[in-house]
Structure 1
């Protein structure tokens, strides 16, 4: 798994990556049911722009249950792992983010059921051209900071697998001051700014039409699906707390992820292949 992870990261030409993924998809299991028309439209948007909103993937009740469960759980600073863990009621000065560990998330209600939403699976399987592997579940908070952007708050590309897709769900209202996600539409197909590194805004603005740089605000429960091989970033929170739930689907397991915890929630009728890394 590690060998493949590092090998595919050396293949950065979008055309070559697409050809390889299509060849590999032939050998992977397939979904048995046809996708609905709405899901097919979302897939078309993903293939052309790399981005699409996706609706009706989480309920108000699920969001409330998730927040109640996490209210007393500890987080770690993803950009400073030496910092002691902390809770929402004791956020230390200078903390930029607070992520929940796999051990915490494994007991969180609803996560696998949301990840197995029929529409989501229709879209990701259509995009990957095979049955997907649920390969990462992440949930984190971003806090106001005066230190400027850090790490993933600069434009970058993810190179997690030869083809993969991510679903982002806002668990808080996100406006222009709350650290909205930013995506460069069409950049997943663009043969420029391909090096695996962080890019300054001016580098991206120089290469791409500013009209294609999309700032994604939204309300609690709003979701979008994104090919994060395309250029994207978070932005620095100016006020409030931004909370994001993220699911990743790929063709293969991802070597940089942890799969030694089982999710204990009661899930019904989930595909054992799709969920094999978490059950």
Structure 2
């Protein structure tokens, strides 16, 4: 049997990818309609915030910061203005460290409190029972989210309320910035994940489009090396966007397509011991890599400028 010409193979791949794209868009239509009914302002954000001209216009509406957040910070004397300046340039700042007692308490919570596998509440188990849970439920489990239970952890709430985070968010996003998400989740190594599992788990470059302007703080609660699912961010990609990435409804794109345009040298892989933290503009391309040998426990605190949606993207609680 003769091999198909390379152009023919490329055409088949394009058709297959288009079919998957259509299926994913169709599956999300009920969710999009719910968001629209709840908040009509969601639709212009969803359609226009992915385009650079409209996005830059919205940034011009940011309110001035009138005063800094007050109170002592667990992060010491870091300068919020300097962090915001680096964010505006690179899209990411990687100089945060949680105090040992804080990240140890949150990690203890993560180990002792049952999580929900693959965003499904019926898949409930403790992190140490992951292998047994895969056997019991008869399916690969790549993630385990603690959903609203995160608010039961006093140390996690203390991180969310730390004045430095709000100060950085306001200097970067504008005076109207407020916390909108807090979540803790596990990423588990598994040997039986299918391509569909990996696609749903966002193990490819994507950007977040939950608001016109957003900022997310991330903290490793376990040691993360190259085999523990490190986070990757493409520096500078928050400030420019390829036209095809502005005109598609999908936010995820193949690695070769992203790196060819934004530069392989700008792909920044974040590793470090438990307590390592960083903050990024999630409109820049990023991804969580697959945990290969050891699980990764991580925390996120997100800030935005619009009314938070009742729908939680990862099951996290609504922050008021």
TM-score scaled by length of structure 2: 0.74
Matched, 1:225 2:279: yes
SS at match of 1:159: coil
The alpha carbon displacement at 1:110 in A equals 1.9
The alpha carbon displacement at 1:15 in A equals 3.6
The ranges of structure 1 where at least 4 consecutive aligned residues each deviate by more than 4 angstroms after the TM superposition are 34-37
| 1:131-170 C-alpha deviation (Å, 9 max, x unpaired) | 4211001110001123263332111110111101000000
| 1:182-206 C-alpha deviation (Å, 9 max, x unpaired) | 1111111112123333211111122
SS at match of 2:237: coil
Matched, 1:117 2:162: yes
2: CA distance, partners of 1:71 / 1:206: 40
1: CA distance, partners of 2:86 / 2:78: 13
The answer to whether the Cα contact below 8 Å between 1:154 and 1:200 also exists between their aligned partners in 2 is yes
Alignment match, 1:266: none
The alpha carbon displacement at 1:55 in A equals 2.1
The answer to whether the Cα contact below 8 Å between 1:15 and 1:189 also exists between their aligned partners in 2 is no
Alignment match, 1:32: 67
Moved more, 247-256 or 43-52: 247-256
The equivalent position to 1:162 in structure 2, one of 212, 216, 222, is 212
**Any unmatched runs of 5+ in structure 2?**
1-37, 71-76, 135-139
Matched, 1:98 2:139: no
SS at match of 1:166: strand
Matched, 1:246 2:300: yes
Moved more, 83-92 or 203-212: 83-92
2: CA distance, partners of 1:83 / 1:96: 15
After superposition, the Cα gap between the structure-2 partners of 1:110 and 1:37, relative to the gap in structure 1 and judged at 3 Å, is: closer
2: CA distance, partners of 1:145 / 1:253: 37
Moved more, 214-223 or 2-11: 2-11
The alpha carbon displacement at 1:54 in A equals 3.2
Matched, 1:10 2:51: no
1: CA distance, partners of 2:295 / 2:110: 14
Moved more, 1-10 or 39-48: 1-10
Matched, 1:178 2:216: no
The alpha carbon displacement at 1:85 in A equals 1.1
2: CA distance, partners of 1:218 / 1:249: 24
The answer to whether the Cα contact below 8 Å between 1:5 and 1:160 also exists between their aligned partners in 2 is no
2: CA distance, partners of 1:130 / 1:228: 19
CA RMSD of aligned residues (A): 2.6
SS at match of 2:279: strand
The alpha carbon displacement at 1:37 in A equals 7.5
After superposition, the Cα gap between the structure-2 partners of 1:175 and 1:127, relative to the gap in structure 1 and judged at 3 Å, is: same
| 1:119-142 C-alpha deviation (Å, 9 max, x unpaired) | 222211100121421100111000
After superposition, the Cα gap between the structure-2 partners of 1:50 and 1:256, relative to the gap in structure 1 and judged at 3 Å, is: farther
Moved more, 202-211 or 162-171: 202-211
TM-score scaled by length of structure 1: 0.84
2: CA distance, partners of 1:201 / 1:83: 33
More helix by share: 2
Alignment match, 2:152: 107
The answer to whether the Cα contact below 8 Å between 2:208 and 2:251 also exists between their aligned partners in 1 is no
**Any unmatched runs of 5+ in structure 1?**
264-276
